[in-house]
Amino acid sequence: MKTKLSILATTALLSVTLLSGCGSDEPESDQQTETAPSVVQDKLLSQIPAETPYFFASRERMSEEDSMALVEKLGTMEELDSQLAELEQLQATTDEPGMQAFLGVMISVLKAFENVETLEDYHQIGLMPNARSAVYGLGLLPAARMELHDEELFRAFFEGLISDMKVELHEAKLGDTDYWHTPAEQMLQTLITIRDDQVIIGLLPSNAGDEVVEQLFGITPPLISLLESGELLQLEQRYHYSPYGSGRISSKGLVSEFISPQHPASQALLQLDETNPADFEACRDDINRLTSLFPALVMGIHELDSQRISGSLRLATSSELAADMSSLTTTVPGLGSGKGVASLGMALDVQALTRMLQKYSRHVHTTPFTCRAAG
């Protein structure tokens, strides 16, 4: 059951990521007179906890004109069709009602974008084609935020969608915040609200308390936010990403939160496990050895303008492993000496590869893995 719950959370993260990547081609920065959000004004990054085990977000936005030019160049309809197909496939393969409802909401929202073609179309439903957005975790559980052009216009647009959705949504109120949610009888609940000039969506366990919902909606801000930590700027500087979107998935953070959950959302999720879970705490040393070799998956956008978008996905490794792997490359004799348009070649230092394999084999032999819980 614990494994099933983690798979549900992972599926939810994937589906939120698909939605976030579509609504507006929405990365994000400001190449016009409009200034980037300041530390005080930034309502997006200031609501994301710095300790989140995963996130993808942007600091700035490009101009609406450049965004529309890029949308037209990339072919939005083809992209929408692809994302719809992926979400519908996810929905067809899950048997958990809460997850099916979560995906159903996303599919309905995506389909509504089929008729959004011009800047005026975006504005009429309260959206911006250049809206900044963020996907992140409240512990293991996924959440997403997207900036709005006009709260009331988007509220009217979304309320119009609800009547056509094949999903049961109820209205509720927490303090002065109105929101929608799927039935509480389901193991996982989708929660949606419109506040602080953003639409916010999250997937939470049905047994999560109001304090978790308050964190999701930004009623209770994080102790230290992603904005305050400066991690986005650090990623941009280290990996040469633009301010239009970057993020990371911490393998150690995810595993630690699964083994010994600290966030109340993760704790609520794992409390739904009615079986006797494996004692993964006994495997912590072995898991730490593995996650220290591959601590994170890092991704980001290098270029974003009216003509092109480019990015990269990197598997971060320990400094020792990186040094060992860099020793494997060597020259290719004669490469580039011909008169062809291009020359391609690859070579490995076999002796260096052998030494590296022997080194890590000795490590495992000297200190073998002892975990049995995952077996």
What is the arithmetic mean of pLDDT over 332-345? 52
Pairing of strands 246-250, 177-181: unpaired
What is the arithmetic mean of pLDDT over 275-297? 68
Same domain, yes or no: 261 and 333: no
Percent of the chain having pLDDT more than 90?
41
Question: Tell me: the pLDDT tens digits for 78-101?
Answer: 667 788 888 888 888 888 888 888
Position 374 in a domain? no
pLDDT at 319 over 50: yes
Of the two residues 11 and 227, the one the predictor is more confident about is 227
CA distance 306 to 227: 27
Q: Which residue has the tokens 């190449």?
A: 31
> Could you tell me which of 13, 14, 15, 27 has the C-alpha nearest to residue 147?
27
Same domain, yes or no: 88 and 217: yes
Same domain, yes or no: 333 and 216: no
Of the two residues 316 and 220, the one the predictor is more confident about is 220
Position 373 in a domain? no
What residue spans of the chain are helical by DSSP H? 2-20, 64-74, 76-93, 97-112, 119-124, 151-162, 210-217, 226-229, 231-239, 251-259, 264-271, 284-293, 319-326, 350-366
Position 145 in a domain? yes
Identify the pLDDT of residue 28: 38
Same domain, yes or no: 347 and 267: no
Confidence of residue 342 (pLDDT cuts 50, 70, 90): very low
DSSP state of 171: E
Same domain, yes or no: 209 and 354: no
Confidence of residue 292 (pLDDT cuts 50, 70, 90): confident
CA distance 285 to 101: 38
Sign of the torsion angle spanned by Cα atoms 226, 228, 232, 235? negative
Of the two residues 146 and 372, the one the predictor is more confident about is 146
Same domain, yes or no: 60 and 94: yes
What is the arithmetic mean of pLDDT over 121-140? 94
Question: Tell me: the pLDDT tens digits for 147-206?
Answer: 999 999 999 999 999 988 888 999 999 999 999 999 988 889 999 999 999 999 999 999
Based on the number of CB atoms within 10 Å of its own CB, is 37 exposed (0-12), middle (13-18) or buried (19 or more)? buried
Position 260 in a domain? yes
Distances in Å between the Cα of 172 and the Cα atoms of 182, 215, 313 are: 10, 16, 39
Domain boundary among 301, 316, 331: 316
Identify the pLDDT of residue 33: 36
Q: What is the mean pLDDT of the chain?
A: 79
Position 223 in a domain? yes
Domain boundary among 292, 316, 340: 316
Confidence of residue 256 (pLDDT cuts 50, 70, 90): confident
Please check whether residue 88 is in contact with residue 166, taking contact to mean a CB–CB distance below 8 angstroms.
Answer: no
Please check whether residue 44 is in contact with residue 198, taking contact to mean a CB–CB distance below 8 angstroms.
Answer: yes
Position 375 in a domain? no
Structure tokens at 47: 């609501």
Same domain, yes or no: 266 and 181: yes
Percent of the chain having pLDDT more than 70?
68
Identify the pLDDT of residue 94: 85
Pairing of strands 198-205, 188-195: antiparallel
Same domain, yes or no: 226 and 353: no
Domain boundary among 300, 316, 332: 316
pLDDT at 326 over 90: no
pLDDT at 317 over 90: no
Please check whether residue 233 is in contact with residue 59, taking contact to mean a CB–CB distance below 8 angstroms.
Answer: yes
Identify the pLDDT of residue 36: 47
Phi, psi of 46 (to 5 degrees): -70, -10
Give the domain extent around 62. Answer: 2-316
Confidence of residue 372 (pLDDT cuts 50, 70, 90): low
Rounded (10°) angle between helices 210-217 and 264-271: 130
Strand partners, 135: 56, 144
Same domain, yes or no: 285 and 347: no
Same domain, yes or no: 194 and 324: no
Same domain, yes or no: 198 and 271: yes
Confidence of residue 24 (pLDDT cuts 50, 70, 90): very low
Identify the pLDDT of residue 117: 87
Identify the pLDDT of residue 358: 60
Same domain, yes or no: 324 and 201: no
Per the structure, the count of domains in the chain is 2
Position 82 in a domain? yes
Position 186 in a domain? yes
CA distance 74 to 81: 13
Confidence of residue 328 (pLDDT cuts 50, 70, 90): low
Structure tokens at 117: 């073609």
